[in-house]
Structures are given as structure tokens and as C-alpha cells.
Amino acid sequence: MVHHTGISNELLEMLNTAISRELQVSIQYMWQHVMWKGTKAFAVKDELKKIAITEMKHAEKIAERLAYLGGIPTTKPEPIFVGESLREMIERDKMDEEGAIKLYREIISRARNEGDEVTEQLFKEILADEEEHHDTFVSLLEEI
């Protein structure tokens, strides 16, 4: 089925997957921020909170785009992983960012192929944030 905007169901489903992931990490990072204790964690806690808020803003932007395109944005996050230790948390967060980067590159490519320049541009902006988050987690792993 092609929607009024000429966008495929596949692209709409990819946007919903993106929303699920953004909801997941926004909760995951916020709970890690809340739960983590220890002296090493002060810089990490602030970073996690800041990134969690950014991810929630991503979810909102993607949901607005999906609704405009005629889709119904999901409210269900992907499974949330809080973790036992700081290292375990940050290793998982790094992997989740890698998954997001891969998915968002696919969405950018698909949106370009379907002539959806607005979605392509939106995900280019979000991708830049995710690459920055990934870099932050990689740096944190070197310190803990």
C-alpha cells in the first residue's frame, strides 16, 4: 500500500522501529542516570540524562513525521536494559547506538530512493546526534 504521500509501508515501518528504539534508549539512559551510584559516575550521570532527553526529542520528531506521512506512531519501546555495573550499562548503550546508526543510514537511503527529502534530512540530523552519543560512550568506556 502506498500512502497519500507516495511513501511505502516499509519506510513507515522503519520509522516506527526508530521510534521504538528512541523510546527504549530515552527510558534506558534516564533509568541508568537515576540508578547509578558511585564516584566514577558523576560525569556519566549528567551525560546519560542529557542524552536521554535528546533521544526523547528524536522520538517526538520521528513520530510527528510518521503521523504526517499517514502512519500511526508506536508507543511501545524496544526492550529496556538497565544493567548491573557502569561498564555493563555503557557497553550496552554503545551497542544500542551502533544499532541506531545502522538503521538510520538505511532509513536515509530508503527515504532518498522514495524521494522523501524531509525524512532523509530529519534522519541525517538525528544520525549526527547518534554518532556523537556513540563517541561519548566509546570515550566513557576508556575511562571506567
Q: CA of 138: how far to CAs of 55, 84, 130, in Å?
A: 18, 18, 12
> Which cell goes with 139?
570515550
Domain membership flag for residue 20: yes
Give me the CATH number covering residue 75: 1.20.1260.10
26-39 tens-digit pLDDT: 999 999 988 887 66
Domain membership flag for residue 21: yes
Residue 54 phi/psi, 5-degree rounding, is -60, -45
DSSP codes of every residue in 38-52? STTHHHHHHHHHHHH
**pLDDT reported for residue 40:** 65
Q: What is the pTM of this model?
A: 0.92
Percentage of residues in the chain with pLDDT exceeding 70?
A: 94
Please give the mean pLDDT across all residues of the chain: 92
Half-sphere exposure of 113 (CA within 13 A, CB side): 9
Q: How many domains does the chain have?
A: 1
Domain membership flag for residue 4: no
Domain membership flag for residue 23: yes
Domain membership flag for residue 61: yes
Q: State which amino acid sits at residue 39.
A: T
Torsion of CA 134, 32, 63, 126, to 10 degrees: -20
Burial (CB < 10 A; 0-12, 13-18, 19+), residue 5, is middle
Domain, as residue range, for 23: 9-143
> Which cell goes with 45?
550521570
Domain membership flag for residue 2: no
Bridge partners, 2 (sequence order): 8
